[in-house]
C-alpha cells in the first residue's frame, strides 16, 4: 500500500502490573518463619537484593565475589517452550549488573555454601555439580514452581499479606525509596534499562514534595519583590 494506515494512530498506553508490598514488620516476620527452610537463602537474596526470581535461580558461586561483597548478575533461569527450564541471557545490558550486599547476607551465603559442600560429600557421585547457589539435593536446576509453593506456605504461617514472588522485588525498591536513596542508584541496582522506567513503576512511592515546591516558588517571588 502507498501509506501506513496507522501512522496517525495513538499508541496504547503502557499498563504496569499492580503491585503489593510488605512492610518492614512483614519482612521481619516472614524471614523469621522461613529461617531453617531450604529456600531461606532464596528469599533472603530476593529481599536484600531485589533480584528477579530467575536471576536468583541462575546464580552461580563464580558470580559472587565474597571479598568485595558483590553479586554479579549474569544470567536468568527461564522456561522456554519445548526446552523446559534453561539459562537465558538477560533482558537488557543494564540487567547485567553488580549488586553490593551487606555482611549479614554474605555470612548467610558462606554458611549455605558450607552446607552444600557437606551435602556433596554425603551423596557423592549422585550430586551433579553445576556450581549453582540455589539447587536441588542433587545439584540440578531448582524448579521455580517449588519456590512459589514454599513461599505460599510460609506466607500463610507468618500471617503476612499474600504477595507474589516478584512483589518482593517491589518491596526491596520501596524500602530503598522510603530511605531516600537516589532513584538513579535504585534503577541501577534493579537492572532497569533506565531511571525513567523506575520512576514509572514507583513514582507513587516517592515522598510528596508538592507543598515544598509551592513554598519555594512563593519564597522566590517574595525575594524578587524585595
Question: Residue 63 and residue 131: Cα distance in Å, rounded?
Answer: 10
Q: Are the C-beta atoms of 85 and 144 separated by less than 8 Å?
A: yes
User: Would residue 153 show up in a list of annotated catalytic residues for this protein?
Assistant: no
User: Would residue 169 show up in a list of annotated catalytic residues for this protein?
Assistant: yes
User: Would residue 202 show up in a list of annotated catalytic residues for this protein?
Assistant: yes
What length is written for the chain? 226
User: Would residue 112 show up in a list of annotated catalytic residues for this protein?
Assistant: no
Question: Residue 172 and residue 72: Cα distance in Å, rounded?
Answer: 18
- State the sign of the Cα–Cα–Cα–Cα dihedral 85, 91, 96, 99: negative
Residue 178 CB: number of other CB atoms within 10 A? 12
User: Would residue 52 show up in a list of annotated catalytic residues for this protein?
Assistant: yes
Residue 151 CB: number of other CB atoms within 10 A? 23
| Annotated catalytic residue within 72, 74, 113, 166 | 166
SS3 17: coil
| Annotated catalytic residue within 40, 48, 52, 53 | 52
| Annotated catalytic residue within 25, 83, 93, 204 | 83
User: Would residue 166 show up in a list of annotated catalytic residues for this protein?
Assistant: yes
- As annotated, the active-site residues are 52, 83, 166, 169, 192, 202
Amino acid at each position: 500500500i502507498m501509506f501506513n494506515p496507522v501512522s496517525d494512530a495513538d499508541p496504547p498506553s503502557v499498563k504496569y502490573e499492580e503491585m503489593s508490598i510488605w512492610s518492614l514488620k512483614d519482612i521481619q516476620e516472614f524471614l523469621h518463619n522461613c529461617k531453617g527452610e531450604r529456600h531461606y537463602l532464596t528469599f533472603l537474596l530476593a529481599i536484600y537484593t531485589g533480584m528477579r526470581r530467575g536471576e536468583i535461580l541462575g546464580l552461580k558461586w563464580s558470580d559472587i565475589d565474597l571479598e568485595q561483597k558483590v553479586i554479579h548478575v549474569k544470567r536468568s533461569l527461564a522456561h522456554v517452550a519445548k526446552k523446559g527450564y534453561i539459562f537465558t541471557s538477560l533482558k537488557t545490558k543494564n540487567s547485567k549488573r553488580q549488586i553490593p550486599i551487606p555482611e549479614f547476607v554474605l555470612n548467610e551465603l558462606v554458611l549455605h555454601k558450607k552446607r552444600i559442600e557437606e551435602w556433596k560429600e554425603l551423596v557423592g557421585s549422585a550430586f551433579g555439580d553445576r556450581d549453582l547457589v540455589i539447587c536441588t539435593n542433587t545439584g540440578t536446576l531448582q524448579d521455580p514452581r517449588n519456590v512459589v509453593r514454599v513461599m505460599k506456605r510460609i506466607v500463610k504461617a507468618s500471617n503476612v499479606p499474600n504477595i507474589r514472588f516478584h512483589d518482593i522485588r517491589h518491596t526491596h525498591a520501596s524500602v530503598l525509596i522510603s530511605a531516600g536513596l537516589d532513584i538513579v542508584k535504585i534503577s541501577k541496582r534493579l537492572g532497569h534499562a533506565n531511571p525513567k522506567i523506575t520512576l514509572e513503576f514507583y513514582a507513587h512511592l516517592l515522598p510528596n514534595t508538592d507543598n515544598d515546591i509551592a513554598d519555594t516558588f512563593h519564597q522566590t517571588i517574595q525575594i524578587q519583590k524585595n
